[in-house]
Chains A and B, each alone.
Chain A
Amino acid sequence: MIEIVNLEKQYGNQTVIKDVSFKIKNGEIFGIVGRSGVGKSTLLRCINALEPISGGDILIDGTSISSLDNEGIRQLRKKISMIFQNFNLLNQKTALENVSLPMEIWGIDKSKIMSKSKELLDLVGLRDKYDSKPKSLSGGEKQRVAIARALSMDPEILLCDEATSALDPNTTKEILSLLKKINEEFKITIVVVTHQMEVVKDICQRVAIMESGMVSALGDVDELFLNPGKSLKKLIGEDELEVLPKGTSIRLFFTKEFSNQSIITNMARELDVNFSIVWGKLENFSGNVLGSLVISIDDKDQEKIISYLEKKGIALEVIINE
């Protein structure tokens, strides 16, 4: 488990991270999102001590990072590996040699390095690229090599710093499903820093939203996105209030259980009310289709509709647009 406790980070006089605390559970895929420059990449680098922390602490399985000496930090990095936006492969080395490098650094037996590197490149789908140098690989392939390299020391935690931000949408999907597979097969905890909402929706179970060095929201991804608070709305730039008609509207949240029922049409029939659907959205969260819908209603029907929906167990929000 990664416990971040009252973390502070300053560069000179500038505070980059202010009093951040949260926990990342073992085996989960945890997202950290925010606009550029909010300190999310710095936060990620504090976890493997690439950035020294200025205050507070981070506990990895109970071990405090601030208590570690250089050798302790090196040992820590053996179980926390990292992949990067720009892949950061050695251009002079082949895919196989790149994957081997951490094992060489750690003095692993040569014959074992060779077989393990091949095994890892097979795992990430690069069986035919052993001897290719990064120059002749595509972006997606480079990131696969970087993932294989990151797995070479059997880490418990994988940190991803904007790992898909330099890739096209299709390649992004492939890399994300590879990460998901790694998470499931090896039970590796994955921490994903990104500014891409699709990444969070696609693979993260929980997410922390960062704004100017602080965590402004934290929770399960599907709940946060279905019922976005102010900070998330700001982040996704969704300000649908502007497009809603004047008067009273109700926003309905369809969670997993309701997405296959005909709630809306049933309600219209049973209550004999009229309303117009003014906004709607369906989204795919790690395979679950969830949605939210806004209906514009007559003020007089408000109570009736709310009690009907509440009886059905549907989450809702009343929006009054003056």
Chain B
Amino acid sequence: MNSSGYITALLESLIMISISGVLSILFGFLVAIVLIFTKEGGLNPKPALYNSLDFIINMFRSFPFIILMIMLFPLSRIIVGTSIGTQAAIVPLTIAAIPFAARIIEGSLNTVDAGIIEAARSFGSKNSQIIFKVMLVEALPNLVQGITNIFINIVGYSAMAGTIGGGGLGAVAINYGYYRWEDTILVITVIMIIVVVQIIQSIGNRVYKSLIK
């Protein structure tokens, strides 16, 4: 395998990670907002809705990721027209990461001091303003750490997706490195994945540090 093969695989991985990362954070954020609104003592408590959403999230998170991916690949055919390759992997990756992202973001928003929210209500903030102008602003450093976590998790997921038909570094590692016993390829792809994770973590750390100054 030549170097352009690795680069193609790396690019595929990066595309999978960034698209499903961004999408799962967006959807996860929406779910997190519903959780924050409807929780007991929240801005608009609705215990029934909160509990069912809570249950669904827990259910999705308890699935072994590989099984979830296999179950979700048919969905890729409907959404992106194929169930093989990088594009196809984005769908199950995103869906599998949403519950995780929702929990992480919910946790971040929950760190905002209740007193600050009370103060925001006291000067007439609407609920939407409390979320966007107060909670998001206050939770930002914590959110950055959470988002870093979400991305790193998706790196891991994307490598696994490679084993069942997705593209990227994971696919190279399993198909060439493992099945064909080419240890060099296995080692190189694993190192590349490690580097990707390190880079994501150090970007996250930097942004976090600049925010808490």
The interface of chain A, by Cβ under 8 A from chain B, is 48, 50, 74-75, 77-78, 81-82, 84, 86, 88-93, 101-102, 104-106, 146, 149-150, 152-153, 159
Q: How far is the CB of A111 from chain B (nearest CB, A)?
A: 19
Q: Is the CB of B124 within 8 A of A74?
A: yes
The listed residue with most A CB atoms (<10 A of its CB), out of B115, B118, B119, is: B119
A-B contacts, 19 of them at CB < 8 A, read: A78-B123, A81-B123, A82-B122, A84-B118, A88-B119, A89-B119, A90-B116, A90-B134, A90-B137, A91-B138, A92-B141, A101-B123, A102-B123, A105-B120, A105-B123, A105-B124, A105-B125, A105-B133, A159-B122
Contacts of B141 in A (CB 8 A): 92
B199 within 8 A of A: no
Contact of A74 among B115, B126, B138, B211 (CB under 8 A): B126
- A153–B123 Cα gap in the complex (Å)? 8
Q: Which 8 A-B residue pairs are closest in the complex by CB-CB distance? A: A88-B119, A102-B123, A77-B124, A82-B122, A88-B115, A74-B124, A105-B125, A88-B116
Contacts of A75 in B (CB 8 A): 124
Contacts of B137 in A (CB 8 A): 90, 92-93
Contacts of A78 in B (CB 8 A): 123-124
- A277–B118 Cα gap in the complex (Å)? 52
Q: How far is the CB of B143 from chain A (nearest CB, A)?
A: 11
- A105–B119 Cα gap in the complex (Å)? 13
Contacts of B125 in A (CB 8 A): 105
Contacts of B133 in A (CB 8 A): 101, 104-105
B15 within 8 A of A: no
Q: Is the CB of B140 within 8 A of A149?
A: no
Residue of A nearest to B117 (CB): A88
Residue of A nearest to B122 (CB): A82
- A91–B135 Cα gap in the complex (Å)? 11
Q: Is the CB of B122 within 8 A of A50?
A: yes
B129 within 8 A of A: yes
Q: How far is the CB of B5 from chain A (nearest CB, A)?
A: 45
Contact of B123 among A86, A89, A149 (CB under 8 A): A149
Residue of B nearest to A93 (CB): B137
Q: How far is the CB of A233 from chain B (nearest CB, A)?
A: 33
Contacts of B77 in A (CB 8 A): none
Interface residue total, chain B, C-beta cutoff 8 A: 20
In the complex, how many residue pairs between chain A and chain B have their CB atoms under 8 Å apart? Answer: 63
- A320–B118 Cα gap in the complex (Å)? 51
Contacts of A88 in B (CB 8 A): 113, 115-116, 118-119
Q: Is the CB of A86 within 8 A of B124?
A: no
Q: Is the CB of B118 within 8 A of A50?
A: yes
Contact (A90, B138) CB under 8 Å given A101-B133, A105-B129, A105-B133: yes
Contacts of B122 in A (CB 8 A): 48, 50, 77, 81-82, 159
Contacts of A82 in B (CB 8 A): 119, 122-123
- A74–B129 Cα gap in the complex (Å)? 12
Contact of A102 among B124, B138, B211 (CB under 8 A): B124
Contact (A84, B124) CB under 8 Å given A90-B137, A92-B140, A101-B133: no
Contacts of A48 in B (CB 8 A): 122
Q: How far is the CB of A53 from chain B (nearest CB, A)?
A: 16
Contacts of A84 in B (CB 8 A): 115, 118-119
- A152–B116 Cα gap in the complex (Å)? 17
The listed residue with most A CB atoms (<10 A of its CB), out of B113, B120, B123, B137, is: B123
Contacts of A146 in B (CB 8 A): 119
- A101–B134 Cα gap in the complex (Å)? 9
Contacts of B180 in A (CB 8 A): none
B209 within 8 A of A: no
Contacts of B126 in A (CB 8 A): 74, 105
- A149–B115 Cα gap in the complex (Å)? 15
Q: How far is the CB of B1 from chain A (nearest CB, A)?
A: 48
Q: How far is the CB of A209 from chain B (nearest CB, A)?
A: 25
- A101–B120 Cα gap in the complex (Å)? 9
- A146–B118 Cα gap in the complex (Å)? 13
- A84–B121 Cα gap in the complex (Å)? 13
Q: How far is the CB of B111 from chain A (nearest CB, A)?
A: 11
- A162–B112 Cα gap in the complex (Å)? 21
**A-contacting residues, B91-128, CB 8 Å:** 113, 115-116, 118-126
- A181–B211 Cα gap in the complex (Å)? 37
- A149–B134 Cα gap in the complex (Å)? 14
- A74–B122 Cα gap in the complex (Å)? 8
Q: How far is the CB of A316 from chain B (nearest CB, A)?
A: 46
